[in-house]
């Protein structure tokens, strides 16, 4: 088995292709002002100045079909969200230590999307903070510290969360309390019970090191692991296993949530399980920094009484207005149904391409969250994947890659995409695959 | 010595005073929807619906002079910031993996406020994330894990940062790698060298437990410790001590920063020291979630090359526009000078009240960051402090309390406050002190 490739997928590397003097200048200004920790995407980085629906527009006026950014899930600069932010920012921007109406309206609306009630909503600013809070609550509730995550998981960048985000690479130490399991379907977690067995094995390993399990946390679409959508149901026995061991099941819905999978509003619903904690972020404010958790009351009861939670910006009036506008637009415009329909159309297009180009070796996904595995001679082909991603960029379509071998195309258009735009995507990919396969 | 009081200062406690049916309803809805971890302020919580300059307006249309919220430092709903947010949200809200102009403009402007160059700016969404990142960088650079903080410090609520925020109380475990020092001026840290000696003692304690020091982090106005403004210069030998021990000095400017102290733009400048990392947040976006760090290049060099940093919302185009607007307004409107002048006027008013009301036992501060210690018979008087804070609220002025005995009035009006509003504050406090002293 090839080792996991831990460099950042689709990162810009200086010197690979010639760049315009303007781009060189911006990159050197970034290095001078922002330092070495920031990364750009693509062989030739992009400089955007405008967003509009499914389009991002660069400094030269060129339009790119954005099939990558899952934050702006309603499309760039959605007028209802922009209006809600502008209006509320002009009325009141304050915190949760005063009574406010907006946060309660948001909570009612958000909690109503959950299949079970009651639950409590707590708000943060980022998905990292949401997963950090989930971890604090899980540790307090379970009395344990052990965490089970998948091999290429990404859950965030606070110190605690980076310790259980193996996709950050070997320079970021995993905690000794963190046990890795193969992604569902990978060797060691194959078949309908394979993932649950891998989780049980990881729990046993923690115990043998004297570590009590606190939680199993997974992105319910396993996005960073290369998108693992099915067979639905495989999560249920894994959830039972962590609960039997005294730990909680945390569903990281930062990527699958908010109707992206089309089939359901939340990714965990596809597996017929109810998490103890649901974490969410990215599309929650369509670009505005808002994130949070929904938690079973009994799980947060003791934590909440003893260890108050206050996040200065989390749950501020403007963030609540943005998040409420997002939920209202998804419902009003039937975006979950659109995600399902357009996701099916896109998958059909991809299947037909796969028939012509065997390099498109496996297609996985639900709704508008799709992973397309690139293999040559049966082996993961990272290089071809990079050529496809950069080729798409050259043709004006944005995607990226993921998976432990960086050989999975990560395709995530906004939920508002229409049939013509889906077809444009498929046609463009066909042209690029033709070039790569030639 | 009385033990440190670790409950939340100025928290609402149900049943203390009768509330309106509307307030009862909102509180019960909050408990149902948001759970037990959220806290409200004041004996009778406030329900705000509008903010305007120095004023917050409640659901009954009553106006409160806001001398507490240091986030909305330019005043509530400052038109230049609201306009910057609204405009940029309508143009483009995207992340740092594309080239953008706004983040570079912001970095140039922000870094120019620093007394030494060069430095790198890195952006997060919250002060907690900024302090979390500073800790990750300090640990990587120093090879140590020891942290020195003051006894009642508050630095944030991520798991790692909560572990070095003792003001959260005994339900939130401090890390074993965290050593506490008394606040400057407190027993054990008295006199001009007292704080540095306490830091050296804490470093020696860490070493005796086999822990290598990574950083000394302080709020440079020691806000949660009850505001410790002087004598300026006492930080310098403490900074030397942590550096001699191989650790970094991190200035938490989340509260003192952005011209609040009047004398200088940053709190650390008052002490003539240059931090290795400066963390910032709260007023940075005047209510919009933006925060970050400025770090010496050599300190972040290895971390940046090995452990990339990406924060989905951190440094997004809208947050950068908000933060740039804040810096521009501070410069254009001379708000640092106003903070100095109004702070002096306020301090004079408080001094005159202290002459009449001995309960106002000690006044400390710089610019518009003032702590007023309440003592009766030489002892900290928490109860009188609470009566003053709630009395001020009843009279339409917002302040709160801080310090390890919860006996320090925390006074932080917006930087735009004018002379008449300062005088209104002082007159109101005089009336309230008259009542409390009667």
DSSP per position, A367-433: TTEEEEEEEETTEE-HHHHHHHHHHHHHTTEE-EEESTTS-EEEE---TT--HHHHHHHHHHHHHHH
Closest chain A residue to the Cα of B398, Cα to Cα: A98
The beta-strand segments (E) located in A207-346 are 213-219, 248-252, 277-280, 291-295
Closest chain B residue to the Cα of A83, Cα to Cα: B86
Contact A122 B34 (CB under 8 A): yes
Residue A54 lies in a domain: no
Residue A149 shares a structural domain with residue A28: no
- H helices of B272-411, in order, are 297-306, 317-332, 335-356, 382-394
Torsions phi, psi for B207 (to 5 deg): -60, -40
Contact B159 A104 (CB under 8 A): no
Residue A404 shares a structural domain with residue A280: no
Closest chain B residue to the Cα of A158, Cα to Cα: B132
Residue B377 lies in a domain: no
From the list A103, A108, A300, the residue facing B36 with the nearest CB is A300
- Give the DSSP H/E element, type plus range, for residue A147: strand A146-150
From the list B41, B111, B126, the residue facing A125 with the nearest CB is B126
Q: Which of residues 2-61 of A touch B (CB under 8 A)?
A: 8, 11, 23, 26-27, 29-30, 32-41, 45-51, 56
| Helix/strand/coil for B121 | strand
Contact B47 A99 (CB under 8 A): yes
Residue A252 shares a structural domain with residue A340: no
Name every chain A residue with its beta carbon within 8 A of the beta carbon of B34.
96, 103-104, 107, 120-122
* CB-CB contact of A35 with B122 (8 Å): yes
Contact B50 A91 (CB under 8 A): yes
Closest chain B residue to the Cα of A81, Cα to Cα: B89
> Measuring CA to CA, which residue among B78, B51, B54 is closest to residue B66?
B54
| Cα end-to-end span (Å), chain A | 28
Contact B312 A281 (CB under 8 A): yes
Query: Which position has the token pair 């900290």?
Result: B380
* Predicted local confidence at residue A157, as pLDDT: 97
* CB-CB contact of B365 with B399 (8 Å): no
Give dist(CA A107, CA A386) in Å, integer.
Answer: 41
Torsions phi, psi for A27 (to 5 deg): -65, -40
A332, A347, A369 - which closes a domain: A332
Residue A163 shares a structural domain with residue A187: yes
| B97, B318, B400, B401, best to mutate vs chain A, most A CBs in 10 Å | B97
Residue A227 lies in a domain: yes
A286 Cβ neighbours under 8 A, 6+ residues apart: A71, A72, A73, A74, A78, A81, A322, A325, A326, B93
Residue length, chain B?
A: 438
A306, A332, A358 - which closes a domain: A332
Residue B157 lies in a domain: yes
Closest chain B residue to the Cα of A53, Cα to Cα: B92
Other CB atoms within a 10 A radius of the CB of residue B46 amount to 21
Residue B253 lies in a domain: yes
Residue A378 shares a structural domain with residue A268: no
What residues in chain A have per-residue pLDDT under 50? Answer: 1-3
Structure tokens at A178: 């963190």
* CB-CB contact of B44 with B391 (8 Å): no
Give dist(CA B218, CA B223) in Å, integer.
Answer: 10
HSE of A375, CA atoms in CB hemisphere, 13 A: 12
Residue A58 distance to chain B (closest CA, Å): 10
Contact A160 B162 (CB under 8 A): no
Is residue A136 less than 8 Å (CB to CB) from chain B?
yes
Torsions phi, psi for A163 (to 5 deg): -70, -15
Give dist(CA B96, CA B312) in Å, integer.
Answer: 8
Structure tokens at B88: 């940029």
Name every chain A residue with its beta carbon within 8 A of the beta carbon of B304.
35-38
| B100, B289, B297, B299, best to mutate vs chain A, most A CBs in 10 Å | B289
Burial class (CB in 10 A: 0-12, 13-18, 19+), B393: buried
Q: What residues pair up with A376 in beta bridges, in sequence order?
A: A379
* CB-CB contact of A422 with A342 (8 Å): yes
* CB-CB contact of B268 with B278 (8 Å): yes
Give the DSSP letter string of B105-116: HHHHHHHTTSSS
Contact A49 B295 (CB under 8 A): no
- Give the DSSP H/E element, type plus range, for residue A180: strand A178-181
Distance of CA B44 to the CA centre of its chain: 24
Query: Which position has the token pair 């980085």?
Result: A45
CATH, residue B219: 3.40.640.10
* CB-CB contact of A304 with A129 (8 Å): no
Give dist(CA B371, CA B365) in Å, integer.
Answer: 6
The beta-strand segments (E) located in B130-258 are 146-150, 178-181, 213-219, 248-252
Q: Which of residues 254-293 of B touch A (CB under 8 A)?
A: 281-282, 286-290
Q: Which of residues 160-199 of A touch B (CB under 8 A)?
A: 160, 162, 168-169, 171-172
Q: What is the pTM for the complete model shown?
A: 0.97
Residue A156 shares a structural domain with residue A251: yes
From the list B77, B81, B97, the residue facing A40 with the nearest CB is B97
Structure tokens at B121: 């700016």
Instruction: Tally DSSP H helices, then E strands, for chain B.
Output: 12, 16
Residue B323 shares a structural domain with residue B420: no
Contact B100 A310 (CB under 8 A): no
From the list B34, B41, B168, the residue facing A120 with the nearest CB is B34
- Give the DSSP H/E element, type plus range, for residue B124: strand B120-124
A152-164: burial string, b at 16+ Cβ within 10 Å, e else: bbbbbbbbbbbbb
CATH, residue B68: 3.90.1150.10
Contact B38 A122 (CB under 8 A): yes
Contact B26 A86 (CB under 8 A): no
Number of domains in chain B: 2
Q: Which of residues 57-86 of A touch B (CB under 8 A)?
A: 69, 71-72, 76-77, 81-82, 85-86
Contact B34 A162 (CB under 8 A): no
Residue B350 lies in a domain: yes
* CB-CB contact of B328 with A298 (8 Å): no
Contact B48 A94 (CB under 8 A): yes
B120-124 and B291-295: which strand pairing?
antiparallel
> Measuring CA to CA, which residue among A112, A136, A111, A133 is closest to residue A121?
A111
* Predicted local confidence at residue A1, as pLDDT: 40
> Domain limits at B52?
21-73+338-371+384-437
Report the C-alpha dihedral over residues A184, A185, A191, A194, rounded to 10 degrees: -40
What residues in chain B have per-residue pLDDT under 70? Answer: 1-6
Structure tokens at A338: 């659109």
Name every chain B residue with its beta carbon within 8 A of the beta carbon of A127.
312
Closest chain B residue to the Cα of A29, Cα to Cα: B104
> Measuring CA to CA, which residue among B209, B184, B212, B208 is closest to residue B198?
B184
Residue B117 shares a structural domain with residue B137: yes
Report the C-alpha dihedral over residues A92, A95, A100, A102, rounded to 10 degrees: 70
Residue B431 shares a structural domain with residue B315: no
* Predicted local confidence at residue B256, as pLDDT: 98
What secondary structure letter does DSSP report for A166? G
Contact A50 B91 (CB under 8 A): yes
From the list A29, A85, A162, the residue facing B89 with the nearest CB is A85
What's the Cα-to-Cα distance from B318 to each of A118, A127, A346, B120, B364, rounded to whole Å? 35, 18, 32, 20, 37
Name every chain A residue with its beta carbon within 8 A of the beta carbon of B99.
23, 26-27, 30, 40, 45-48
Is residue A104 less than 8 Å (CB to CB) from chain B?
yes
- Give the DSSP H/E element, type plus range, for residue A361: strand A360-366
Query: Which position has the token pair 């009766």?
Result: B376
Name every chain A residue with its beta carbon within 8 A of the beta carbon of B309.
37-38, 157
Burial class (CB in 10 A: 0-12, 13-18, 19+), B331: middle
Other CB atoms within a 10 A radius of the CB of residue A14 amount to 12
pLDDT digits (tens, 9 = 90+) for A315-365: 999 999 999 999 999 999 999 999 999 999 999 999 999 999 999 999 999
* Predicted local confidence at residue A242, as pLDDT: 98
The beta-strand segments (E) located in B40-114 are 48-52, 55-58, 63-66
A310, A332, A354 - which closes a domain: A332
Residue A229 shares a structural domain with residue A351: no
Torsions phi, psi for B401 (to 5 deg): -130, 165
Residue A7 lies in a domain: no
Residue A213 shares a structural domain with residue A356: no
Other CB atoms within a 10 A radius of the CB of residue A15 amount to 6
From the list A82, A159, A312, the residue facing B135 with the nearest CB is A159
CB pairs under 8 A between A and B: 324
What's the Cα-to-Cα distance from A162 to each of A127, A174, B309, rounded to whole Å? 12, 7, 10
* Predicted local confidence at residue B117, as pLDDT: 79
Contact B158 A159 (CB under 8 A): yes
B408-411 and A55-58: which strand pairing?
unpaired
Give dist(CA B60, CA B48) in Å, integer.
Answer: 9
Structure tokens at A91: 């009325």
Q: Which of residues 346-365 of B touch A (CB under 8 A)?
A: none
> Measuring CA to CA, which residue among A240, A225, A141, A138 is closest to residue A189?
A225
Structure tokens at B382: 């928490």
Give dist(CA A206, CA A225) in Å, integer.
Answer: 22
From the list A51, A107, A160, the residue facing B160 with the nearest CB is A160
Is residue A159 less than 8 Å (CB to CB) from chain B?
yes
Name every chain A residue with its beta carbon within 8 A of the beta carbon of B398.
none
Give dist(CA B56, CA A265) in Å, integer.
Answer: 38
* Predicted local confidence at residue A5, as pLDDT: 55
Give the DSSP letter string of B210-238: T--EEEEEEETT-TTTT----STTTHHHH
Residue A164 shares a structural domain with residue A285: yes
* CB-CB contact of B121 with B323 (8 Å): no
* Predicted local confidence at residue B438, as pLDDT: 74
Residue B1 lies in a domain: no
Q: Which of residues 318-347 of B touch A (CB under 8 A)?
A: 318-319
Structure tokens at B115: 């007394």
From the list A77, A162, A304, the residue facing B91 with the nearest CB is A77
* Predicted local confidence at residue B5, as pLDDT: 55
Contact B159 A157 (CB under 8 A): no
């Amino acid at each position: 088995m090839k080792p996991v490739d831990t460099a950042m997928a689709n990162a810009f590397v200086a010197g690979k292709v010639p760049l315009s003097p303007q781009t060189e200048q911006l990159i050197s200004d970034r290095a001078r002002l922002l330092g070495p920790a920031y990364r750009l995407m693509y062989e030739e980085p992009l400089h955007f100045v405008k967003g509009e629906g499914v389009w991002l527009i660069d400094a030269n006026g060129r339009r790119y079909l954005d099939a990558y950014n899952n934050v702006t899930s309603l499309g760039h600069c959605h007028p209802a969200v922009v209006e809600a932010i502008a209006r509320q920012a002009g009325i009141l921007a304050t915190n949760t230590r005063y009574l406010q109406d907006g946060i309660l309206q948001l909570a009612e609306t958000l909690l109503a999307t959950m299949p079970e009630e009651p639950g409590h909503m707590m708000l943060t600013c980022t998905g990292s903070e949401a997963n950090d809070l989930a971890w604090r609550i899980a540790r307090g509730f379970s009395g344990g510290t052990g965490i089970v995550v998948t091999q290429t998981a990404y859950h965030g960048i606070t110190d605690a969360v980076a310790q259980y985000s193996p996709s950050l690479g070997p320079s970021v130490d995993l905690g000794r309390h963190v046990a890795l399991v193969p992604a569902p379907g990978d060797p060691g977690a194959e078949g309908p019970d394979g993932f649950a067995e891998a989780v049980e094995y990881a729990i046993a390993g923690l115990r043998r090191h004297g570590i009590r399990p606190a939680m199993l946390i997974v992105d319910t679409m396993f996005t960073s692991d290369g998108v693992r959508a099915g067979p639905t149901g495989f999560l249920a026995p894994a959830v039972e296993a962590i609960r039997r061991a005294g730990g909680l099941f945390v569903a990281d819905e930062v990527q699958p949530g908010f109707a992206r999978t089309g089939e359901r509003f939340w990714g965990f619903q596809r597996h017929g399980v109810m998490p103890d904690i649901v974490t969410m972020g990215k599309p929650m404010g369509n670009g505005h920094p808002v994130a949070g958790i929904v938690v079973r009351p009994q799980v947060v009861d003791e934590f909440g009484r003893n260890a108050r939670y206050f996040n200065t910006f989390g749950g501020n009036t403007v963030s609540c207005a943005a998040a409420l506008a997002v939920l209202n637009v998804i419902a009003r415009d039937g975006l979950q149904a659109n995600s399902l329909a357009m996701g099916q159309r896109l998958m059909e297009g991809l299947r037909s391409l796969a028939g012509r180009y065997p390099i498109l070796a496996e297609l996985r996904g639900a709704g508008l969250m799709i992973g397309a595995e690139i293999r040559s001679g049966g082996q993961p082909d990272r290089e071809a994947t990079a050529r496809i991603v950069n080729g798409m960029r050259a043709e004006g379509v944005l995607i990226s890659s993921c998976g432990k071998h960086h050989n999975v195309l990560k395709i995530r258009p906004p939920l508002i995409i229409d049939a013509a735009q889906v077809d444009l995507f498929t046609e463009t990919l066909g042209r690029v695959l033709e070039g790569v396969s030639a």
